[in-house]
Structure 1
Amino acid sequence: MKYAPPSISTIVGSILLTIIAMLAITVPWIAPYGPNDIAGEVWQPMSSTHWLGTDSLGRDLFSRLAYGTRLTLLFTLIISILSTLSGALLSFLAVSIGGWFETIISRLNDLFMSLPSLIIALVALAVLPHNNASLIIVLVVVLATRVYRLGYSLATHIAATDYMEAARLAGESHWFRVTREMLPNAQLPLLAEWGVQFGNSILFISTLSFLGLGIQPPDADWGSLVRENKDGILFGISAAFYPAIAIALLVIAVNLLVDALSNHLQQREVQ
């Protein structure tokens, strides 16, 4: 098989994601101030002291943005991995067990998917305690319903294969069939789906944080930084634009890599 050089989208996405990841890793050494340190006057402009200026309370915006990068990536990774795994495993179990279990789980999933995801998240977070654990649980449940649909389609196709029939005739348990037969044969499509969920998680977390129901103070992710500095837009202050641009760049980087991965998977199927 011939070696195919990486596409421009792969290179650009990899560079952007590497820069963001390095910022999250090296933040304790490159941030000039702590995330909550009052470093100057309110909404100071960019300078050699404050690279991106200061925010609505006089905190160094670059330091807040750098520390917010770590939180944004951490929560996004946790939520995207858990939602992809839970949605896929539940759909595989539903197909493997079949009967009433499959019917109930599938109809519940259809019910969740018929409602706007943001509305479900807002209602759930308004009822549950305002903490990071509640945020993770709610977003995992909401996003897992989208993964379930893909997993159900994959599992239905895999369940009709000869090796699955052999596993059933051998009396293997449902969990064995799911983890040893279904999951390994669906890993590439699920990997692409995880990339999609990663991008969705970024936007979902940022949206909820902007509305005040995401990551709670004194911690702050990029969505929280936009909310904290949104009033500056009325006075021509650009403090809210920097975290917004960071969100856009991260989503673009992930989408470019997911597209490249999807194209690679399609080429492998053709070959």
Structure 2
Amino acid sequence: MKTSMPPSIVPTPGRRKPRGRLPIAGVAGAAVVGFWMLMAVFGPWLAPDDVGNMNGDAVFAPISAQYPLGADFLGRDMLSRILQGAPYTVGVALAAVLVASIGGTALAMFAAARGGWFDTVVSRLVDIQLSIPTKLLALIMIAAFGSSVPVLVLTIGIGYMPGAFRIARSLAVNVQAMEYVQAARARGESLVYITLQEMLPNMLRPVLADFGLRFLFIVLLLSGLSFLGLGVQPPDADWGSLVRENIIGLSEGSPAVIVPAIAIATLTIGVNMAIDGFAGRKRRGG
């Protein structure tokens, strides 16, 4: 007797498992982040005016054809100031998060793979550093060595490294117990091979998500330090510095105060939207 399969389980030629689509919010967030990344690279060359050009008659000038984003407290074009400040806000934050994430993740993988006393000592040292607030560490380092871009990158990178270490170690401890890692150990593979070829590819997604969140935290910390006058120093300026130096124009509703704050907000919101979008794609796509 001829039997037929239910329509729901009849195999369809060429049918593939549907993949999760990136939500519109995630696409928008990634576009905003990509835009500011491009401005961090090409912004200084695209600036329509030299940041040193001052016009005493245009102090806190409103938005106009000559000043598309207004003018600051010295009559300088704010559009040019924003574009010139993008490398210091985005670039310094990106360099610091690379130090934190790469350093913390590498140390965590080697500690988890090595195990024993090495893992114990490193974990306890990280716990000690975690007890020191990142802002307090930054203030101490800046007071000791002064405020410069290398000091900011290293200080903030080292300050956020323990958090990256803890996240990566929790992942690495689970991964290194898997059968394929044990098989690599049985084959006599080196520690470097095991960590880079067997462990890292299987913990990359959570590490990248943590990378994005840590970048967001560092942008806000840098902006806060610059607002206090402890970040990027004149004549250079990041967006936090632009808010601080134009704060006296707040009572006049000057765009020189609002525009850099909007730039910071769009970058941080864009990072959040991009992270949420990619996380949602992973859940829907399996």
- Quick check: TM above 0.5? yes
Shift of 1:251: 0.4
Task: Give, in angstroms, the shift of residue 97 of structure 1.
Answer: 1.7
State the Cα deviation string for residues 138-158 of structure 1 (Å, max 9, x = none): 111111111111101111001
Residue ranges of structure 2 left out of the alignment (5+ in a row): 1-16
* CA positional deviation for 1:183: 1.1
Q: Deviations over 1:178-199 (max 9, x none)?
A: 2222112111111111111221
| Counterpart-to-counterpart distance in 2, 1:185 and 1:15 | 27
- Aligned counterpart, 2:181: 164
More moved, 247-256 vs 123-132: 123-132
Larger relative contact order (CA 8 Å, sep ≥ 6): 2
1:12 counterpart letter in structure 2:
A
Structure possessing the higher radius of gyration over alpha carbons: 2
The range that moved more, 13-22 or 180-189, is 13-22
Letter matched to residue 33 of structure 1: D
Shift of 1:221: 1.0
Residue 243 (str. 1) matches residue 260 (str. 2): yes
2:30 to 2, 11, 14: 14
Match of 2:130 in 1: 113
Residue 129, structure 1, aligned to residue 129, structure 2: no
- Identify the match of residue 32 of structure 1 among 48, 51, 54: 48
* 8 Å CA contact 1:33, 1:39 repeated in 2: no
- Would the aligned equivalents of 1:40 and 1:60 in 2 still touch at CA under 8 Å? no
Matched, 1:200 2:217: yes
Q: How does 1:227-242 map to 2 (within 5 A)?
A: 227-242=244-259
Distance 2:237 2:95 in 1: 17
CA contact (8 A) 1:93 1:178 kept: yes
1:116-171 Cα offsets, whole Å, 9 max, x none, are: 22112111221123211111001111111111111011110011111221222333
Deviation (angstroms), 1:113: 1.9
Relative distance call for 1:159 and 1:22 in structure 2 (3 A) is closer
- The alpha-carbon deviation at position 204 of structure 1 amounts to 1.6
> What one-letter code is carried by the residue in structure 2 that aligns with 1:220?
A
Are 2:85 and 1:68 aligned?
yes
Q: CA RMSD in A?
A: 1.9
Structure 1 residue corresponding to 2:97, chosen from 80, 88, 109: 80
- Residue among 18, 25, 46 paired with 2:63: 46
Amino acid corresponding to residue 43 of structure 2 in structure 1: V
Distance in 1 of aligned mates of 2:41 and 2:104: 30
Looking at structure 2, the residues matched to 39 and 179 of structure 1 have their Cα atoms a distance apart, in angstroms, of 56
Counterparts of 2:19 and 2:199, CA distance in 1? 30
**Equivalent residue for 2:164, pick from 141, 147, 151:** 147
Displacement of 1:209? 1.4
- 1:242 match: secondary structure: helix
SS at 1:239 equivalent:
helix
Q: 1:201 to 1:165 in 2, by over 3 A?
A: same
Unaligned 5+ runs, structure 1 = none
1:40–1:58 contact (8 Å) kept in structure 2: yes
**CA 1:203–1:50 in structure 2 vs 1: closer, same or farther (change >3 Å)?**
same
Contact 2:99-2:158 within 8 A present in 1 as well: no
- Between 40-49 and 102-111, report the one with greater CA deviation: 40-49
- Which runs of 4 or more aligned residues in structure 1 lie more than 4 Å from their structure 2 counterparts after TM superposition? none
The aligned amino acid for 1:229 is N
TM-score, with structure 1 as normaliser: 0.91
Question: Could you tell which deviates more after superposition, 233-242 or 196-205?
Answer: 233-242
Stretch deviating more after TM superposition (225-234 or 30-39):
30-39
Instruction: Decide whether the 8 Å contact of 2:97 with 2:218 is kept in 1.
Output: yes
Instruction: Specify the code of the residue in structure 1 equivalent to 2:201.
Output: P
Question: Using a 3 Å threshold, how does the CA distance of structure 1 residues 153 and 223 change in structure 2: closer, same or farther?
Answer: same
Q: State the match for 2:107 in structure 1.
A: 90
